Amino acid sequence: MPTDTREQILDTAEQLFAEFGIDGVSIRTITAEAGVNLAAIHYHFGSKEALVREVFARRIGPLNRERLRLLDDLLERSRPQQPPLEDLVRILVGPPLRLWLQAEKGETFTRLCGRIYSESSGQLQTMCVDLFQEVVRRFSAAFEQAAPELPKTELMWRMHFVIGAMVHTLMQGGFVRQLGVQAGEGNEVEANIERLTRFATAGLQAPLPQTEVPEMAGEGKREVLG
C-alpha cells in the first residue's frame, strides 16, 4: 500500500539521517535501504528537502501539539492568575523526554535532533525554526506572564539555557541511563523530568546578574563582566 511505502521511506530516512547526518545520506541510499524505487521518493515527497522536513515534522508535530495542549490547559486552570513558572517548565521539557522513552524510535529521533546542533546547514536551521515557531511564540508569552520581574532579554537567555539543558539530557541518553542504573532507579524518565524542571525553575528565578563586580582588594578600579 502507498501509505506503507511512505512510512517505510520515512523510517529508513530517519535511521540513516540519525546515523550518518543529513548531508551524508543520498536519495539512492535511502531507496536501496527502504527497498523502493526512486519514483516512490518523488511520488510521496518530491525532493530530498521535502523528505527531510517530513522526517522531522512527523515527530515534532505531535510533540508540539501535546505541548500546546498542556499549555492551554495550564493557562485555563491558572486564570486569572499568572501560570506557575514550575508548571510551565514541566510542560516544556516533559513531552520530548517522554518521546525519548519510545524505545528505538525515540532514541533514533533524539540522535537525529542532535544533527540540528552539529550540522551547519542553513536550510536545516530554517526548517527547524519554522517547525517550532508557534511553540516558541506561545511559550515565550506564557513565560513573560509567569516571570514578569525578568527583563525580556534576560528571560530570553534563561529560556535558551533551559532548552540547552533539555537538549543535552536528550543527547546524552546512554549516560543518563547509566546514572539511573548506578542509583538503582533504572530508566526513571518522570523522575528526571522533575529533576530538570526544578533545576531549570531555580535558574529562571535566580537573582539578576550584576553588570559590574565590586572592587577587589588592592585594585583601584572595577571590572565590567564579559
pLDDT of residue 102: 60
Q: CA–CA separation, 50 vs 70, rounded Å?
A: 29
Mean residue pLDDT of the chain comes to 83
First-to-final CA distance of the chain: 59
Average pLDDT of the segment spanning 161-176: 79
All structural domains of the chain, each given as residue ranges with its CATH number in brackets, are 1-46 (1.10.10.60), 58-204 (1.10.357.10)
pTM as predicted: 0.77
The predicted pLDDT at position 222 comes to 40
Q: How many CB atoms lie within 10 A of CB 208?
A: 9
Helix (H, G, I), strand (E, B) or coil at 224: strand
| Count of C-beta atoms within a 10 Å radius of residue 184 | 7
pLDDT at 132 over 50: yes
- Residue 26 pLDDT > 70, yes or no? yes
Q: What are the grid coordinates assigned to 167, written together?
A: 537538549
- In tens, the pLDDT along 95-118 reads 988 877 665 566 777 777 776 666
C-alpha cell recorded at residue 71 = 499549555
